[in-house]
Amino acid sequence: MSLAVLKSRALSGMQAPEVGVEVHLANGLPAFHIVGLAETEVKESRDRVRAAILNAGFEMPARRITVSLAPADLPKESGRFDLPIALGILAASGQIPALPLARYEFAGELSLTGELRPIRGALAMTFAMQRAHGRGAFILPRANADEAALVNGAAIYPAATLLEVCNHFRAADDSARLARHQAVLLPATGHYPDFAEVKGQLHAKRALEVAAAGGHSILLIGPPGAGKTMLASRFTGLLPPMTEEEALEAAAVQSLTGAFSPANWRQRPFRSPHHTSSGVALVGGGSVPRPGEISLAHRGVLFLDELPEFDRRVLEVLREPLESGRVTISRAARQAEFPASFQLIAAMNPCPCGYQGHATQQCRCTFEAINRYQGRISGPLLDRIDMQMEVGAVPTETLHKGEDGEPSQAIAARVATAFERQLARQRKTNRHLTSREIDRYCKPEQAGITILHKSMLKFHWSARSYHRVLRVARTIADLDGSAGVLARHVQEAVQFRRGLQQPQ
């Protein structure tokens, strides 16, 4: 037989469309051609495949070899097609049986020795395979086995070398075949830094507890050394445990960059990009669109330290994902959509020197310098951050006491209780409540309405700010175990939005 057809998968955003790998051997001068809109790394597979076949003990056909990757208009990238191309050549030349190949899908990059190297996107490809009809088995590198086996019901057959895969199809009995893999995942231990290590800062801890309970974004403003980064790095430990669906979503996004590790299963991601990051690094992109930091923080936390030091155009790209929880990357020939439902924790100094309003340090900044510094954060972006609060310097007496604060475990227990109340009432977190749902679930008592009305006039808040304060007030009421939103809940929510006022 001079023709073999195998199945593999490409990556297009979060999707993994099927790719037919067709290998044809023809008479003529020896040649090796790959067609089907293949990127450079795919075309380079000719040399890897040739060496791997020879080093595995097989014969490389001295014929005209044509490999077609269909559909032809779908871009193909990376070395994941090495394994199906090599198997196609061996099947077309009669060195392995071709008929059983139709029951499997294949992906894997080959080394020159024939070893299978890990690929990225194995979880997304397994999802797509499981949804397809007629094929329920996937052969891929052993390093990707735990990741791919997270998909329930998927038949994963990992291999270490090309020779192992070939022996699987040539074996006369089951003992020589590849064994189906079962995922071995460590329990979610959640080794997060503890809030007990943070001395003082009771108001800031309370704000982060509210933010964790309702899924709210928060901006921490304070002088250098006040503990903003220390607080933010411990925030992830307060969040409710991830559900199976959330864990799979987060793992699938990380799999697209090859960053997923089974050891981090069901642990919420914490991403902290440097302030020199570009817009593409933050939201994703490239000629072949890949997820950025906001997508890698999906179902977790995105921490932006020194917020005004980010380029203003970079910060502006956060506005839409903060509202929609998704980001769409458009290119001339393709469009990719990635999930980006993250909690934003940002930190900044109140002025360039950092000591505006400090009790003991004198601020050296002029009014114009402070305005320029705070003005690097646009009003529309600031308006989308639910909570904005000051984090004062810790008094020396508090540091000398040596007393530990409340542990994260105790705070997380209250957060989990408030989270369950939200799901029981509205099946979503307070952060995601629509305007109509806010009118239904967040309407405060008359005294609370009066407080909110006065605050709106005093601070010149927008309608968006009005709704965000009510969402935060609803979360405070849930932490308090209150069925309704009382005046004290509104008062506290107002206090959590007074940290930074946009310069006039």
Contact 85, 49 (CB under 8 A): yes
For residue 150, give the CATH number of its domain. 3.30.230.10
Instruction: List pLDDT tens digits, range 183-202.
Output: 776 565 557 888 988 888 88
- Domain match, 104 and 206 both: no
What SS3 class is residue 182?
coil
Q: What is the DSSP letter of 444?
A: B
What SS3 class is residue 293?
helix
Last residue of one domain, picked from the residues 383, 401, 427: 427
The answer to whether position 235 is within a domain reads yes
Task: Count Cβ neighbours within 10 Å for each residue of 352-366 and write b for 16 or more, e otherwise.
Answer: bbbbbebeeeebebe
First to last CA, the chain: 78
Angle value at C-alpha 142, between 45 and 104, nearest 5 degrees: 70
Phi, psi values for residue 21, rounded to 5°: -100, 105
Instruction: List pLDDT tens digits, range 74-117.
Output: 889 889 999 999 999 999 999 999 999 999 999 999 999 999 99
Instruction: List pLDDT tens digits, range 289-345.
Output: 889 999 999 999 999 999 999 999 999 999 999 999 999 888 766 788 899 999 999
Which alpha helices (H) appear in 340-395, and where do they start and end?
Answer: 367-374, 379-383
Average pLDDT value for the chain: 90
pLDDT, residue 183, reads: 74
Mean pLDDT of 232-257: 91
What SS3 class is residue 292?
coil
- Neighbouring CB atoms inside 10 A of 125's CB total 28
- Domain match, 125 and 48 both: yes
State yes or no: pLDDT of 503 exceeds 60: no
Residue 116 CA from chain centroid, whole number: 27
Local confidence band at 135 (pLDDT 50, 70, 90 cut-offs): low
pLDDT, residue 231, reads: 94
Instruction: List pLDDT tens digits, range 210-240.
Output: 999 999 999 999 999 888 999 999 999 999 9
Q: How far apart are CA 237 and CA 190, in angstroms?
A: 7
Residue 39 CA from chain centroid, whole number: 26
Last residue of one domain, picked from the residues 388, 411, 427: 427
Distances in Å between the Cα of 82 and the Cα atoms of 78, 367, 488 are: 9, 62, 64
Q: How far apart are CA 310 and CA 295, in angstroms?
A: 18
Name beta bridge partners: 158.
140
- Neighbouring CB atoms inside 10 A of 281's CB total 15
The answer to whether position 62 is within a domain reads yes
- Domain match, 151 and 41 both: yes
The answer to whether position 188 is within a domain reads no
